[in-house]
Amino acid sequence: MAVTSIVVVVAGASVGDFWDVIFKVPSHRNLVNITNQSALIFLAALAAAIGFRMNLFNIGIEGQYTLAAYTAALVAGQAWFPGKVNILVALLVAMAVGAAWAGIAGVLKVTRGVSEVISTIMLNAIAGTVVGYLLSNHGQQYGQGRRTTPIPESSQLAGWTPWKESDGAIWTLVILAVLAGVTISFLINRTRFGFDLRATGTNEDAAVVSGVEVKKMVVISMLISGAIAGLIWMPALFGGADYYGPPFQRTLGFTGIAVALLGRNRPLGIFFGAVLFAWLSEQANPLALVADISPSIVQITQGVVVLAVVVAYEVVRRWTAAYEQRELKAALDREAVSA
């Protein structure tokens, strides 16, 4: 907070105005947007977190969801299936494409030893180019840009309007974020697979001894991570975007990575992180309008928050470790005295 304030002062703007805007109670419209955006960010962060939980740095969320969103929009636009079935098929396609693109990095890692950090960065660039190519050669003319064929009306979801219509609707598929969150949380914490994944993440050697096949785990977690990444833009696609084209929201993948780290890769932590990031982004608008402060300050705040929070985690972790040791010693000493 202090850092951000300093930056604001350096820029010659009013610190008071800045925090006023940031902490302003959001209007109904803002709340709808924050909810929708939180869902997208949450999915992105969840995708990143699955990899991080086993020390796999899937930096490629960006490319995975871009390619998946394009393909899903393309398939849904063809309307090969009626109404809701069309949605389901598109979701499956999105997951499959995201998984496949992430899987390339996974397979390269286990068979050729290519660091996933590098391969996913390269795959991001390649995904962007491939989508651009397909769009400009096979897309529909759309003003100065190109887009995929819009999805049929019967496959569009109206969403849920808690307030006035003009305040916007909460996308129906925000439910995907909830479902994915619960599923992944359950998968990681309650299942054998999740245990293997967490074990590999904290101590790969011990996991190997315990019978975990790390290579298989790497590929599977990349696939799951990619599948979730594939879902990122789906709430927006079926909630009003209707096609893949210029309004496509980029950089969610990178935001997701930051939020995953902020939330310590735990679904609940990620949830709060996603809401925080969505909130900050939503306030970027009034920031420029009301306080005349550049929206880039939001980015700085987000970065500083991530760094500050991880440093704080580390400090707390050290402190609790020391505390635990003291407690343990005290307990043992008491035992010794009473014996």
Partner 1 sequence: TDNKNDKTGSTANADVCKTAKGNGPKVGLAYDVGGRGDQSFNDSAYAGLKKAVGDLKATCVEGEATDGEAESARESRLKDMADAGMNPIIGVGFAYSDAVNAVAPNYPDISFGVIDGFDPDQTANKNVAYLGFAENEGSYLVGVAAALKSKAGHIGFVGGVHNDLIKKFEAGYVAGAKATKPDIKVDVKYIQESDLKGFGDPAGGQEAATAEFDNGADVVYHASGASGSGVFDAAVSAGDGKWAIGVDSDQYLTASDAQKPHILTSMLKRVDVATYDMIKSVADGSPLTSYQTYDLKKDGVGYAKSGGFVDDIASKIDEAATKIKSGEIKVPDKP
Partner 2 sequence: MVVRDILKQFPGVVANHDVNITIRPGTVHALIGENGAGKSTLMKILYGVQRPDGGTIEVDGKQVRFSSPTDAIKAGIGMVFQHFMLADNLTVLENVVLGAEKLHGIGDEARAEITRISDAFGFGLDPDELVEDLGVGQRQRVEILKVLYRGAQIIILDEPTAVLVPQEVDALFANLRELRASGRTILFISHKLDEVLAIADDITVMRRGETVGEADPKTATKKQLAELMVGSELPSPETGESTVTDQVLLTLDDVGLVDERGRALLKNISFEIHRGEILGIAGVEGNGQEELVETIMGMRKGTGRITLDGKDIDSWDTRERREAGVAFIPADRHRHGLLLDFPLWENRILGHQTKEPSSNGFLITRKAAKESAEQIVADYDVRTPSINTNARALSGGNQQKFIVGREMSSDPSLLIASHPTRGVDVGAQAAIWDHIKRARREGLAVLLISADLDELIGLSDTIEVILRGEIVGTFDPQTVTPQDLGAAMTGGHSTEEGGAR
Partner 3 sequence: MTTTVAAPAPAPDREANHTGSKARTYFLIGLAVLFSLAAVRVITGVHEVDSQGSLRAAIVATCPILLAALGGLWSERSGVVNIGLEGQMLLGTWGGAFFTYYYGPWVGLLGAIGFGVLGGLLHGLATVTFGVDHIVSGVALNLIAVGLTTFLAEAFFADLDSQFGHGGAQQLTGLQKPTVITIPGVSDAATSLADKHWFAISDVAALVAAVTNRISVVTILVFVLVFATGWILWRTRFGLRLRSCGENPEAAESLGINVIRHKYAAVLVSGGLAGLGGGYLALVSSPGFHTNQSNGRGYIGLAAMIFGNWRPGGALIGSGLFGYTDSLRLRDPATIHAMLLFVGFWLLLFAAWRIYKARRTQGIVLGVFGLLFLLWFAVTDEVPRDFTSMTPYVTTLLVLAFASQRLRMPKADGKIYRKGTVD
- The residue ranges that bind partner 3 (CB under 8 A) are 7, 10-12, 57, 108, 112-115, 117-119, 121-123, 125-126, 129-130, 132-133, 136-137, 254, 257-258, 261, 294, 296-304, 306-307, 310-311, 314-315, 318
Is there binding between residue 306 and partner 1 (CB under 8 A)?
Answer: no
Angle between helix axes 174-190 and 214-231 (nearest 10 degrees) is: 160
In the bound state with partner 1, the residue whose beta carbon lies nearer, of 38 and 221, is 38
Given 23, 133, 319, 323, the residue binding partner 1 (CB under 8 A): 133
Q: Does 199 bind partner 2 (CB under 8 A)?
A: yes
Q: Does 14 bind partner 1 (CB under 8 A)?
A: no
Binding flag, residue 282, partner 2 (CB under 8 A) = no
Closest separation in Å from C-beta 104 to partner 2: 25
* Terminal C-alpha separation, the chain: 52
Record the tokens describing residue 279, joined without a space.
Answer: 């909130």
Which of 85, 208, 268, 312 binds partner 2 (CB under 8 A)? It is 208
Q: Which two tokens stand for residue 182?
A: 């619960």
Q: Which stretch binds partner 1 (CB under 8 A): 100-108, 129-137, 151-159, 205-213?
A: 129-137
Q: How far apart are the C-alpha atoms of 289 and 283, rounded to whole Å?
A: 10
Nearest to 294 by CA among 310, 305, 283: 283
3-state secondary structure of 12: coil
Q: Which residues pair with 147 in a beta bridge?
A: 140
In angstroms, what is the minimal distance from the CB of 249 to partner 1?
Answer: 5
CB-CB neighbours of 323 under 10 Å: 10
Answer for the pair 207, 71: CB distance below 8 angstroms, yes or no: no
| Cβ-based neighbour number of residue 121 at 10 Å | 17
**Beta partners for residue 145, in sequence order:** 142
If contact means CB under 5 to 8 A according to the sort of partner, which of partner 1, partner 3, partner 2, none does residue 208 touch?
Answer: partner 2
Smaller CB separation from partner 2, 133 or 186: 186
Q: Please count the other Cβ atoms lying within 10 Å of the Cβ belonging to residue 288.
A: 13
Instruction: By CB under 8 A, tell whether 321 contacts partner 2.
Output: yes
The one segment of 25-33, 114-122, 189-197, 296-304 that binds partner 2 by CB under 8 A: 189-197
C-alpha–C-alpha distance, residues 337 and 233, integer Å: 62
**Interface positions, 158-187, toward partner 2 (CB under 8 A):** none
Question: How many binding residues for partner 1 (CB under 8 A)?
Answer: 45
Site for partner 2 in 123-162 (CB under 8 A): none
Calpha distance 164→187 (Å, rounded):
38
Q: How far is the CB of 59 from partner 3 (least distance, A)?
A: 8
